[in-house]
Every structure is written in structure tokens, then in C-alpha cells.
Amino acid sequence: MNNASAPAASNSSLTFDAIIVGGGIAGLWTLDRLRTAGYKVVLLTDRALGEGQTLASQGMIHGGIKYTLSGALNQASETIADMPDYWQRCLNGTGDVDLSQTHCLSDHFYMWSNSTLGKLTSFFASRAVRGRVDKVPASERPALLQNRQFKGSLYRLVDRVLDVPSLLANLAANNQGHIYQLDQIAQRLHKDATNNAYLKLNNTGEPITLKAKRWIFTAGKGNADLLAALGCQQPAMQLRPLQQLVVRHRYPYPFYGHCLGADKTPRLTISSHPSNNGDTVWYLGGSLAEKGASMSAAELIAAGRLELTELFPWLDFSDADFSTLPIERAEPLQQNFARPDNAFAKPASDVANVLVGWPTKLTLAPNLANQILAQLPKPDTAIATNNAINDLAQQLPTPVVAPLPWEALRD
């Protein structure tokens, strides 16, 4: 639907420095940073917080070492290398964003390989990764890998794994009263005669026009619809389909690790997450999930069973419960469909007041917010928002954090 060039409505209007659209990590982090920097800002999202990529992520805050498997630090790993320390300051309560209520699931990630060992040994010994990776002696292996049949060398990365629901709840609590749920946002967007976007709200009571010096679209895959509604051609988006595997099994092994194969992407990435019934689920990504995107659920489950049996022949997964989660990663369009190296935030074409952002990784949300802040005009001292926020609060509900995707999954 293209709502471009609709005339501005003559009803009451509320004006903000910025209105963010999209309630995943990108929108929530940006909201927090903008509020702290003195901007009058609200966030609108069309469903519960985190639904989409953020809650489907594996929660790893990584310093990029997994991107260095080709043997040298590339641009992706250079950009991301500062992020773990940045997040750590936030988790300690001393950073740009207070994440002191966010839980960590793990303070490390393992990496092992039984096929490309020679290349890896020299790589891990190189200066580039010194201090960020330790070789794990056999006596200190985690319980899961304490078996004679385990082959290969094991390394420990300092990468953290966050409990993403607690991260979202932390950001929502920091920004209480500034986050609202509204359906059909794309259909409500229009452009005025000066080529500025605005939103028409006529849910209940008096119609209201929402105006902002800048609209910031951080709606993941939904950015494309928001841009199309305003007739914007750029920036274009690419979607990378994945099909993750969710495994509920009887072993008491919360585990976080990449098994390396011949590809640049880890052959298998395992993270472990709490489930509502008290179980821990293993969530499987990596090459298996990339290849799995073109498989049926049944084919991927069969491939996943085989993979786990090959990697852990001492375990029996025959009575484990497998299900799959198809999900797409939303990114700015790259040449040859490459993976973007960095977070992306740029103005939209064909409209005067819209910025569009994709963090491309949970880890890079701080980087995205920094890029957005650098592109904003200073806060407008003439804007007073207390009444505006009260008016909005009367019309719109506050979204909750969405459930983890595997709570709804059963094969």
C-alpha cells in the first residue's frame, strides 16, 4: 500500500523529537540512548516486544572470532571486536545503557573442530586472538565433552550469552511510559506537502496526528513495508532465511559452543535456554540452520539427529523432542548477498524525516544506536512531551515481552 502524498489531517497533533517504530533490540536500545541524551521520543511497535529476530536469536554477544575462521581478522571482526566490553559495562551498570537487571546464561562459548585442526591451531596461536581464546585441557572439558570418544581440540572464547527475555524486560523497564503498541502502523503512515512523514491515529476518541523531527524505522523485516507505505525506494533490504532446530532432551548439559567444519560458518552452533516447564532446550544454528532453510521440517529434524549422533556418539537422542523454527535475518541489501560487516543506519530516500536501521546482529545494537545518534539534529527545546505522552497512554496499550519462540513449538 502506498500512502504517499495524502493531505495532512486537521486534528490535534503530538510532536516528538523522534518516534521509533519496531520493538526489537534495535528499537529498544535506540530508545534508551535517545532518552538519556535528552530527546523526547516514544517507540511504537505492532506486537509484543522482541517477537521476530531478537527472541529467535542465540543471545551471543560475540567479539567476532567466529568470523575469523578463514585465518585472518577481516573487517567484520574488527568492527565487532569492541562490543563485548561495551556490553559488559552496560551489564555492570556503568555503561551507556543500564543492563544491570539482565541475566547472563553463560560467560563463555566453546569452539571445537575435528576436521580443520591444523589451520585452527596456528590461527588460535596468532597474535590477533591472543587473550580472547584459551585452549581447554582435557581435564577441564565441560561434562558434555568428558568422553573418550570426543575428538579434536577444544577452545574457550570469552563471548557471553545473554538471557534475551531479561534483556528486553530490562530495556522496557528503563523506558516505561515511552513504549506503545499499535497495529497497522504502515497503513497509518503518510507524507505531508513538505515530504515529511506523519502518522494518523484514530483508535478511540479524538483523532491524533503523530509528528516527529525524525522517524526511526527499526522494524527488522517490517522496515520494507514501512518504507513502501511512504513510497521510499531506498535503502533496500535482503532477507537471509534460516531454519533453527529446537531440541528437548534428557541430558543435564547446558552447553554453548560452535563445532567448526569445512565452511566459514560453524558447522553447528549450540546454545542452551531455559524453558517454561523447567527444562533446558538446546537451540541449534550455524550451517545446519542455513542449509535447513531449504529443507522441510522433517528433513531438517532427520539431518539434526544425524549431526548430533555424529558429534556426540556417546549420547542417545532417540527419545529427544525435536522441532524447527523458520526465521529470516533482515539486513540492508549487500552486493552478492554478502553478510553485512556492520550495523546500518541511513536516511530513507523520497522522504525528508526518516532514518532506517538494521543492527544486523544483536551484538551490534550499541553500534547502531551510536550511528543513529550521530545523524540526529539536537533535541528541540521547544518540544514539551508530558501532555503528549499522557494523551498517547490513554489511546494505546503498553506491549509485554513476547514468549520465547520455542514455548509455542512442539513437533
Interface residues with ligand FAD (CB under 6 A) are 21-27, 45-47, 50-54, 56-60, 185-186, 218-220, 222, 225-226, 242, 244, 285, 327, 329, 358-363
Decide if 273 contacts 59 (C-beta within 8 A).
yes
- Which residue has the CB atom at the shortest distance from ligand FAD? 222
The answer to whether the CB of 343 falls within 8 A of the CB of 358 is yes
DSSP string across 144-160? GG-STT--SEEEEE--E
CB of 10 to ligand FAD, least distance (A): 25
| CB-nearer residue toward ligand FAD: 15 or 53 | 53
Give me the DSSP letters along 262-321: SSSS-SEEEEEEE-TTS-EEEEEETHHHHHHTTS-HHHHHHHHHHHHHHH-TTS--TT-E
Q: Which three cell numbers stand for residue 178?
A: 515511552
Residue number, 40 or 329, with CB nearest to ligand FAD:
329
Q: How crowded is residue 130: how many other Cβ atoms within 10 Å of its Cβ? A: 10
Radius of gyration of the chain (CA): 23
The nearer residue to ligand FAD, 121 or 398, going by C-beta atoms, is 398
State how far the Cα of 30 lies from the Cα of 371, in Å rounded to an integer.
10
- 185 vs 288, beta carbon nearer ligand FAD: 185
Give least dist CB 378 to ligand FAD, A: 25
Q: How far is CA 343 from CA 20, 260, 330, 360, in A?
A: 17, 25, 12, 6
- Minimum Å gap between C-beta 210 and ligand FAD is 13
Specify the residue, 261 or 359, whose C-beta has the smaller distance to ligand FAD: 359
Select 59 or 261, whichever has its Cβ closest to ligand FAD: 59
